Amino acid sequence: MRVAVVGQGYVGLTGAVALALQGHGVTGVEQDHSRLRTLNSGEAPVFEPGLPQQLAAALATGRLRFADGLAECHRRAPFDIVLITVGTPPQSDGSADLSQVTSVLEQIGNLLPVPRVVLKSTVPPGTSSRLADAHPWLRERYAYNPEFLNQGSALEDWAVPARVIAGTWSRENTLALRELYAGVSGPWVSTTPTSAEMIKYASNAFLAMKISFSNEIAQMCSGPDIDVDHVMQGVGYDPRIGHAFLQPGLGYGDSCLPKDTAALAHWASSVGMSAPLLRATIAVNDAQTGVALQILRTELGAALREATIAVLGVRYEPWSDDLRAAPSLAVVPAILAEAADVRVWDPATDAATIAGLFPSANPVAELPDAVDGAHAVVLLTEWPQAIEAHWPTLAARLVAPRLLIDGKNCLPPELMAGLPIHYRSIGTRMPTTTVTAEPQLEA
Ligand SMILES: NC(=O)c1ccc[n+]([C@@H]2O[C@H](COP(=O)([O-])OP(=O)(O)OC[C@H]3O[C@@H](n4cnc5c(N)ncnc54)[C@H](O)[C@@H]3O)[C@@H](O)[C@H]2O)c1
């Protein structure tokens, strides 16, 4: 098939590369000229493990190219399908901004012959119907096919998705989607576009709820005789629950969960529903980003005003460079407002980016320099460089009260227990042996 993928961000570029490797002729359309230049030089403008190699492989097939618009390419050789993978960012009231999607649809409506359209961007329930009311040509040639990839495993998630959701108004369009995804293995759910839209939001709301639930339980896991890691392990072994996203921390913060929960809550209000569980999920998450500051206030008291705090990590996860909605964006300014000196270290974020995000913070290139003479450390990203660092040496560089707040519960509690520091995690972590999946028989 001849395919265009409009929007070459995390979703669009992954899709364009994967579809070209599947055998389709693909044009990745990108309006941002600096991003387009990077793509045309054979480089990936976003960080995703394996993407540079797969991009090179796709370009080598001769089936992938990039362009800044649809019209000229379509005039030369019409596309069978146009995938829309543009952003749907949050607006100030929480609702999804659909302007990028509507602008692409206007462009597609002017193409002759009009191709089939597959919308992959995340949009609120009822959006496809409204778009089809505004563009009557769309109903005959449309599928809503939400994307579920995770940054960090995007290519794998595309090749072996947990499910493919095909929201269409006709069997013909479902079959066209099947042809597009020939070779992609995963269960299919064929449904209406509105159901497909709700599947995407409901999935992200559930994942967000699991994280907020973990954080609420973690608050209850405090004291000398309780271990939050063991509690989460024990709960997660129930196959009805599972371990994924049962992870306490300083709040969810990938590019999707905050905006999608806010957009679903906004949508629920617009149809007269209160959605209390969803709102509680968001409220618990909002409060969770304040936990690090609360601990600093409790442990340092008035001395916080004079204190030097080292923040380790800006990214939400080491394997994604997507800083949209990372908890650091809320946590660091809150600490900056109360502490004398805030140093920020992140091995994959350059000093200029850190200075742009947090103008009054001090970017520090080396981890030992960041903690040298600091009163407290706040760890926000599970960087291997931080986890595997020689903590006895780092601890010796701290000054009293030598507080270490592990916002990702990722440092080994056994090691922390032996150091001359005050280790605080999200819920109590005990320096005991880890739980195994094997049944333990008493001798
Ligand atoms: N990032 C993820 O992990 C992820 C996962 C699942 C679903 N989604 C959803 O997929 C959609 C895309 O997400 P993303 O993270 O890839 O977005 P992104 O913001 O990284 O990329 C969107 C790209 O579209 C380009 N664009 C916008 N309008 C355009 C136009 N008219 N013509 C050409 N290019 C245009 C932008 O310049 C940008 O490069 C969103 O709705 C998001 O919620 C994202």
- d(CA 163, CA 12) in angstroms, rounded, equals 18
- d(CA 165, CA 192) in angstroms, rounded, equals 10
**Gap from CA of 408 to ligand 1 centroid (Å):** 28
pLDDT of 434 strictly over 70: no
pLDDT over 90 percentage in the chain: 94
Which ligand 1 atom is nearest residue 11's CA? 16
Read off the amino acid at residue 200.
K
Of 84, 81, 96, the residue nearest 31 (C-alpha)? 84
Is 122 touching ligand 1 by the criterion CB < 6 Å?
yes
* Active site residues per annotation: 256
pLDDT of 398 strictly over 60: yes
Task: Quote the strand ranges of 267-335, DSSP E.
Answer: 308-312
The answer to whether the beta carbons of residues 252 and 258 sit under 8 Å apart is yes
Is 151 touching ligand 1 by the criterion CB < 6 Å?
yes
**Gap from CA of 87 to ligand 1 centroid (Å):** 4
Residue 228 token pair = 């939050």
Confidence at residue 431, expressed as pLDDT on a 0 to 100 scale: 86
- d(CA 323, CA 339) in angstroms, rounded, equals 23
- d(CA 279, CA 261) in angstroms, rounded, equals 8
Of 297, 72, 23, 340, the residue nearest 181 (C-alpha)? 23
Q: What's the mean pLDDT in 138-149?
A: 97
When mean pLDDT is compared across 214-218, 233-237, 330-334, 435-439, the lowest value belongs to 435-439
Domains of the chain: 2-191 (3.40.50.720), 205-425 (3.40.50.720)
Confidence at residue 126, expressed as pLDDT on a 0 to 100 scale: 98
Is 261 touching ligand 1 by the criterion CB < 6 Å?
no
Non-local (6+) Cβ contacts of 199 within 8 A are 146, 165, 189, 191
Find residue 64's DSSP bridge partners: 26
Is 83 touching ligand 1 by the criterion CB < 6 Å?
no
Is 15 touching ligand 1 by the criterion CB < 6 Å?
no
Average pLDDT, the chain: 95
Which ligand 1 atom is nearest residue 13's CA? 16
- d(CA 251, CA 405) in angstroms, rounded, equals 14
Is 103 touching ligand 1 by the criterion CB < 6 Å?
yes
Mutate to test the pocket of ligand 1, among 33, 37, 118, 147 (most ligand atoms within 8 A of CB): 147
Q: Which parts of 237-379 fold into alpha helices (H)? A: 257-270, 276-288, 291-300, 328-336, 351-357, 367-371
Q: What's the mean pLDDT in 400-419?
A: 96
Of 267, 325, 253, the residue nearest 98 (C-alpha)? 267
Confidence at residue 443, expressed as pLDDT on a 0 to 100 scale: 47
**Gap from CA of 86 to ligand 1 centroid (Å):** 4
**Mind listing the pLDDT tens digit for each residue in 356-372?**
999 999 999 999 999 99
Read off the amino acid at residue 363.
P
94: alpha, beta or left, given left = phi > 0 and alpha = psi -120 to 50?
A: left
Q: Look up residue 324 and give its DSSP letter.
A: T
**Gap from CA of 68 to ligand 1 centroid (Å):** 15
Which ligand 1 atom is nearest residue 150's CA? 3
pLDDT of 437 strictly over 90: no
